[in-house]
């Protein structure tokens, strides 16, 4: 695909927002920061993905190839690694097993926060780190820690560069009419 066609596809990106995401003021602020038109849909995995319209008019979705799983805090992620571990594991097994890539975006935390046990859970920091690194090794998960006020921008950047790289490498070229 020619660079001008790639830019056109990037300019025509639409955010895919999982239909289970709660409609809140924080979500609206995040959507405003993302700055893309969006569609609510039932995503197989994660909270966010994207699609675009290719220069030939075909729609190309990354919903089965790319997911951003957003957690609002270390507390929420600790719950996924403890009480919700089986469901969380199944979701990652299924999506990554089908060739998907997942970013784990966790707001309002970082490694020092986790190491210092500055979250509301009895989940031991050593076990927390072990789970994070196991998820990285097992699923190729890309963890992204950030303040909530920049999560929208980071979601937009992740989707933009993932889409661009896939278009540049020709992933959308062999779709068949």
Percentage of the chain beyond pLDDT 70 is 98
- Residue 41 lies in domain: 3-168
Least confidently predicted of 12-26, 45-59, 163-177: 163-177
pLDDT at residue 123 in the model: 96
91 within domain boundaries? yes
Mean pLDDT on 132-140: 96
Residue 54 lies in a domain: yes
- 176 pLDDT higher than 60: no
Please give the pLDDT value at position 142: 86
Give yes or no for residue 177 having a pLDDT over 60: no
Domain membership flag for residue 155: yes
Indicate whether 173 belongs to any domain.
no
Query: Does 28 fall in a domain?
Result: yes
* Residue 174 counted as domain residue: no
Distance CA 85, CA 91 (A): 10
Helix (H) / strand (E) element for 61: namely: strand 59-61
Residue 175 has pLDDT above 80, yes or no: no
3 state DSSP class of 1: coil
Task: Show the CA angle centred on residue 64, arms to residues 1 and 7, nearest 5°.
Answer: 25
Taking the C-alpha atoms of residue 157 and residue 160, their distance in angstroms, rounded to an integer, is 5
The verdict on residue 53 lying in a domain is yes
pTM metric for this prediction: 0.93
| Count of domains observed in the chain | 1
In this structure, are residues 54 and 177 in contact, taking their beta carbons and an 8 Å threshold? no
Backbone angles phi, psi at 49, to 5 degrees: -155, -160
CA gap 114, 78 in Å, rounded: 10
Where residue 44 sits, what CATH number does that domain have?
3.40.50.10130
Residue in 43, 20, 17, 11 with CA at minimum distance from that of residue 30: 17
Q: Is position 20 within any domain?
A: yes
Work out the mean pLDDT of the chain and round it to a whole number: 95
% the chain with pLDDT above 90: 93
- 78 vs 12, 23, 60, 89, CA distance in Å? 36, 23, 34, 13
């Amino acid at each position: 695909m020619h660079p001008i066609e790639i830019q056109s596809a990037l300019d025509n990106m639409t955010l895919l927002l999982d239909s289970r995401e709660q409609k809140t003021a924080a979500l609206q602020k995040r959507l405003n920061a993302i700055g893309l038109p969006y569609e609510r849909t039932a995503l197989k995995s994660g909270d966010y993905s994207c699609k675009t319209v290719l220069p030939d008019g075909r729609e190309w979705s990354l919903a089965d190839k790319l997911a951003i799983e957003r957690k609002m805090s270390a507390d929420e992620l600790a719950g996924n690694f403890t009480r919700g571990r089986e469901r969380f594991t199944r979701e990652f097994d299924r999506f990554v097993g089908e060739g998907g890539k997942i970013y784990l975006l966790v707001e309002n935390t970082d490694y020092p926060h986790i190491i210092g046990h500055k979250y509301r859970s009895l989940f031991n920091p050593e076990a927390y780190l072990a789970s994070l690194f196991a998820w990285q090794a097992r699923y190729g998960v890309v963890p992204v820690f950030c303040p909530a006020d920049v999560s929208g921008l980071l979601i937009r950047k992740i989707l933009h560069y993932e889409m661009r790289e896939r278009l540049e490498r020709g992933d959308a070229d062999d779709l068949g009419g």
